[in-house]
């Protein structure tokens, strides 16, 4: 595919999204084969800058051609290339075209202001595939206490506070991520000192403290993790994690549970939640099933398949916990 054809594909993908209305400050403009790009290649917008992510399998010539075309066609101030290798330690991030701020870039998401680091490792501090989940979670946050588990940079916490939550407790093993979350609160005009921040092992944290303390629990665990002297595995730790999360919810409270795990299907996740609720003498009701947002299209053949970021990989369940 020549440079003009690549530019045409990029502009067509951008225009399909823009047909819905003004684009969010932070959104995906190109999502692999569903937008005519090579498998494993994505392009995200962060205000006036672009971030292209390429998995190791994408040929270097393709990365060069698509990144150059994107920078020229979209008139960005800079483009960062993030290369994801099989071993995370080998992954990299570098400015490929133009200039990119060294400080974190503020982006608007509804009435939230979230700070993104465009060239500080392979993550920017904001998961774009959770944008609609964050907005949906606000519907359950007003007037209740919220527990945000594996909170990362606390975008869910910011949205919950803006929606009128009485207090948010954010728990993540990374103190740096929590400090970033406090900065996100401040950037959004909120007082982080009104809320609670715990640099803690999440599984251990939910096993402690008073039950039935929260009206909303957000649970977005990694598939694997290593910190504080132990290894986290979603499959192995899921029963304890759900036991703790459901135990923390008041009757009528809502659990928003998301996972990228390839092997965990909806039925297995609901069954695990039902088991946790039964052990607590309660039951769960499925309120909603969510997936990837509209700017992350996938090929029809990939529906129901989870191939990293090239298929239908994101599962989110909104569950209500009720007393029997």
How many Å apart are CA 172 and CA 197, to the nearest integer?
8
Check residue 319 and give its pLDDT. 98
Whether the pLDDT of residue 305 is over 60: the answer is: no
Q: Is the pTM of this model over 0.85?
A: yes
One DSSP character per residue, 223-241 reads SEEEETTEEEEHHHHHHHH
Phi, psi of 189 (to 5 degrees): 80, 20
| Residue ranges covered by each domain of the chain | 3-108, 127-323
Whether the pLDDT of residue 306 is over 80: the answer is: no
Q: State what percent of residues in the chain have pLDDT above 70.
A: 96
Closest by alpha carbon to 320, among 231, 224, 250, 266? Answer: 250
The pair of structure tokens assigned to 64 is: 């060069």
Whether the pLDDT of residue 301 is over 80: the answer is: no
Phi, psi of 292 (to 5 degrees): -70, 145
pLDDT tier, 2 (very low <50, low <70, confident <90, very high otherwise): confident
For residue range 255-284, list pLDDT tens digits in order. 999 998 877 888 999 999 999 999 999 999
130-144, 199-213, 240-254: least confidently modelled range: 199-213
Whether the pLDDT of residue 91 is over 60: the answer is: yes
Check residue 90 and give its pLDDT. 85
| CATH class of the domain whose range is 127-323 | alpha beta
For residue range 205-219, list pLDDT tens digits in order. 999 988 999 999 999
Whether the pLDDT of residue 230 is over 90: the answer is: no
| Cα 48 → chain centroid | 21
For residue range 65-74, list pLDDT tens digits in order. 999 999 999 9
Whether the pLDDT of residue 294 is over 70: the answer is: yes
Query: What are the beta bridge partners of residue 261?
Result: none
- With contact defined as beta carbons under 8 Å apart, do 168 and 160 qualify? yes
CATH placement of domain 3-108: 3.30.750.80
CA–CA distances in Å: residue 260 to residues 130, 154, 257, 269? 11, 18, 11, 12
Check residue 308 and give its pLDDT. 47
């Amino acid at each position: 595919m020549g440079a003009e054809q690549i530019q045409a594909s990029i502009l067509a993908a951008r225009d399909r999204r823009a047909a819905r209305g003004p684009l969010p400050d932070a959104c995906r403009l190109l999502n692999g084969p569903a937008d005519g790009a090579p498998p494993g290649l994505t392009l995200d917008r962060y205000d006036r800058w672009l971030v292209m992510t390429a998995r190791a399998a994408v040929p270097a010539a393709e990365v060069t051609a698509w990144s150059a075309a994107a920078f020229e066609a979209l008139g960005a101030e800079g483009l960062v290339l993030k290369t994801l290798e099989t071993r995370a330690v080998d992954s990299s991030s570098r400015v490929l075209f133009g200039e990119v701020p060294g400080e974190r870039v503020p982006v608007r998401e509804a009435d939230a202001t979230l700070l993104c680091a465009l060239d500080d490792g392979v993550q920017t501090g904001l998961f774009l595939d959770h944008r609609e989940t964050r907005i949906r979670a606000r519907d359950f946050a007003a007037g209740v206490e919220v527990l945000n588990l594996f909170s990362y940079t606390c975008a869910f916490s910011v949205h919950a506070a803006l929606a009128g939550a009485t207090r948010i407790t954010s728990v993540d093993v990374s103190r740096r991520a929590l400090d970033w979350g406090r900065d996100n609160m401040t950037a959004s005009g909120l007082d982080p000192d009104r809320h609670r921040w715990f640099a803690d092992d999440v599984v251990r944290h939910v096993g402690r403290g008073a039950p039935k303390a929260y009206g909303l629990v957000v649970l977005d665990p990694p598939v694997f993790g290593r910190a504080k002297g132990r290894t986290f595995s979603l499959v192995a730790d899921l029963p304890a994690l759900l036991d703790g999360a459901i135990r923390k919810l008041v009757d009528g409270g809502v659990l928003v549970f998301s996972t990228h795990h390839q092997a965990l299907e909806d039925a297995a996740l609901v069954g695990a939640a039902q088991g946790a609720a039964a052990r607590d003498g309660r039951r769960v009701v499925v309120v909603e099933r969510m997936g990837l947002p509209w700017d992350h299209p996938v090929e029809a053949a990939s529906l129901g398949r989870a191939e990293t970021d090239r298929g239908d990989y994101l599962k989110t369940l909104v569950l209500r916990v009720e007393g029997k």
